[in-house]
Structure 1
Amino acid sequence: MSFNLKNIKSQPQRVALVTGANGGLGFETTRVLLSKHMRVVMACRDLDKGAKAKQKLLDHYPEARLELLPLDLASLDSVRNFAEAYLEKYSRLDLLINNAGVMVPPYKVTEDGYELQFQANYLGHFLLTGLLLERLTSTEKSRVVLLSSKAHERASINFEDLQSEKNYARWKAYGQSKLACLIFAKELNRRLRRNDFQTIAVAAHPGISNTGLFRYFPKWFNQTLGPLLSPFISHPPEKAVKPTLKAALEKNITGGSYYGPTGFMGFKGAPGKVQSSENANDESVAKRLWKVSEELVGFKYLDSSN
């Protein structure tokens, strides 16, 4: 049976948190969750853009319960402050949608000393999830959704140069960060099961969609080649977001699964289960990445020995 948002009932008792909610896929995700009457927390780095996005949503859904909170995933202090603020205000967390990301920027090191894509796409979400875990696991039928990418398929985790200090290649670093997100979703789900929690973790990718992520592409591509290829290999955000929404909202979702477009080469099409790379399913890599991540963020959770 195909995924149809019309079949998803109103869920006014639920609380969702969406990172990067001010634009692109995050905005669309937030819009749909509001249409199902959920309370939504928009976690945004740029509060001006977040405020404009919030007002746009409220113009469409005047009765929406919508809050904007600052979150910069490229700052571990910001992640900690956000989690503290969330825990003070909310007694439950039904959906944690780790959506925010940056794609192929020039080389940049964060204030914590980590490569920007690795921290903003993956490491910040790893810490955020851990800090909110108690709220998640105490909420019945809660879910964590990680956004990955087709770029994970040719990627590997370079433990000898995680922060691209020796060599920075934009696409290679992006692929590694999105592979890390997918590995994290699968390993998080395994650890949740081992600890007898009912919360599940799943992953999704949007295929190709023309969102703000493309701002670091060459101008000539965005002005010429991009528009020519777009009708054939990409789909708009309102369609690209459906794998995320399926992972978050459909009833019969198995933890550890991976969802994406099922059309030509996974670029676009109806959402469904999709294949992940061998590297994404290597449990020894997952355990090593988890341990390294705990050391990098200075926070441990879900001990694998349990």
Structure 2
Amino acid sequence: MILAAIYYLLLIVLYLYTALCLLTLLGLLCYKIGFEPVKGVCKSNARLDGKIALVTGGNQGIGLETARELAARGATVIIACRGAEKAAEAIQDIVATTGNKQVEYMPLDLSRFSSIRQFAADFNNTYDRLDILVNNAGCGGVTPKYTEDEIDFVMQVNYFGPFLLTKLLTEKLIASKPSRIVIVSSILHFFGNINVDTLDKIVGHSIKSKFYNYSNSKLCDMLWAKALAKKLPEDISVNSLHPGLVRTNIFNKLPSFFLKVFMFLCDVLNFKTPKEGAQTVVHLCVADEVQNVRGKYFSECCEAKYKQVVDDEDLVERVWNKSVEVTS
């Protein structure tokens, strides 16, 4: 009797596992057909000699490939991230593949406002300009927790931290006009549904809550891009983007079962490599045709549709005011 119960229990688990895989496969397949029928490629040949570019999270994944491409075009590239050892490996790789030795590392932990303020102070004292700021670093799928600043970890790393960093570097961007701010968001912003009053708080501990928390952070990135486009001088291009479905380690902290399913589907559906995922980022950094484009959302190196609420000017302003309050 007990063996039979165990048998049927295992059978049910197997059926559920198969159903989850099939449903996820179907959803991702629909996405690939609808949103990524062709992988966009940056076609600009623009050089960046004499320019200074800052890439957060430039030691791995999309950030590394973005830093590599900007360095290949002649820019001085600053990689801002945690972990000096991994950053050193990334710099060695970039120098070897581009021949550009003007690639540097500066420590930055977006989960700590004290680190962001120290980074900004050091950068502003070291460099006289900032031509391109790529807010790329992010995280997802982590166990909900508060930072030392008493802010939800994912919201701080993905949104509040970059918000503060950009604010502290704004004078350099203005002094370097025409300059650019690029914000890596996600198509998952469509699932975001934010409460401005509790924007910095943990929304829950379930897997579903983790998903919506990540989506909310990316929706905030979109609203932030809109606000910056209104508040900054016209010579500063600021836009957000979805890099596509990319094989990176951003979701490595998901439960092992879900991570294995996700990685399996990445292989089956031929998800983008980090280099392919960086194409829209690079496009917004260098393409002449987007220098005067502001507050837009891109995917596959083209303007794309976004959640309608992003155009709500009242919401844009309320989120901005809350962000200023949280980061002050």
TM-score (norm 2): 0.82
Q: Return the match for 1:15 from 30, 52, 62.
A: 52
Q: Return the match for 2:229 from 177, 185, 189.
A: 189
SS in 2 for 1:143: strand
Runs of 4+ in 1 over 4 A off after TM superposition: 2-6
| Structure 2: distance between partners of 1:75 and 1:12 | 33
Please state how far the C-alpha of 1:87 moved relative to its aligned partner: 0.6
In the alignment, is the contact (CA less than 8 A) between 1:54 and 1:66 conserved in 2?
A: yes
| Structure 2: distance between partners of 1:160 and 1:4 | 39
In the alignment, is the contact (CA less than 8 A) between 1:103 and 1:214 conserved in 2?
A: yes
| Structure 1: distance between partners of 2:227 and 2:179 | 17
TM-score (norm 1): 0.88
Please state how far the C-alpha of 1:197 moved relative to its aligned partner: 4.2
SS in 1 for 2:74: coil
| Amino acid in the other structure paired with 1:282 | D
Q: Larger RCO: Structure 1 or Structure 2 (Cα < 8 Å, ≥ 6 residues apart)?
A: 2
| Structure 2: distance between partners of 1:204 and 1:225 | 22
Q: Return the match for 1:256 from 295, 298, 318.
A: 295
Per-residue CA deviations over 1:144-203 (Å, capped at 9, x if unaligned) read 0111011100112222432344634101110111111111011101112xxx44112111
| Structure 1: distance between partners of 2:145 and 2:312 | 29
Name 1:72's counterpart in structure 2. 109
In the alignment, is the contact (CA less than 8 A) between 2:145 and 2:202 conserved in 1?
A: no
1:279 aligns with 2:309: yes
- Aligned-pair identity in percent equals 31
| Number of residue pairs aligned between Structure 1 and Structure 2 | 285
Name 2:192's counterpart in structure 1. 155
Name 2:132's counterpart in structure 1. 95
In the alignment, is the contact (CA less than 8 A) between 2:72 and 2:100 conserved in 1?
A: no
SS in 2 for 1:105: coil
Please state how far the C-alpha of 1:243 moved relative to its aligned partner: 1.2
Per-residue CA deviations over 1:16-42 (Å, capped at 9, x if unaligned) read 000000000000000000110110000
Please state how far the C-alpha of 1:4 moved relative to its aligned partner: 5.4
SS in 2 for 1:172: helix
| Amino acid in the other structure paired with 1:259 | F
- Give ranges in structure 1 of 5+ residues lacking alignment: 262-270, 299-306
| Structure 2: distance between partners of 1:18 and 1:156 | 28
| Amino acid in the other structure paired with 2:126 | K
Name 1:265's counterpart in structure 2. none
Q: Which has the larger radius of gyration?
A: 2
1:143 aligns with 2:180: yes
In the alignment, is the contact (CA less than 8 A) between 1:37 and 1:64 conserved in 2?
A: no
| Structure 1: distance between partners of 2:269 and 2:98 | 33
More helix as a share of residues: 2
Name 2:216's counterpart in structure 1. 176
In the alignment, is the contact (CA less than 8 A) between 1:137 and 1:197 conserved in 2?
A: no
Please state how far the C-alpha of 1:91 moved relative to its aligned partner: 0.7
Alpha carbons of 1:246 and 1:112: their partners in 2 closer, same or farther (altered >3 Å)?
Answer: same
| Amino acid in the other structure paired with 1:183 | L
Name 2:66's counterpart in structure 1. 29
| Structure 1: distance between partners of 2:270 and 2:50 | 38
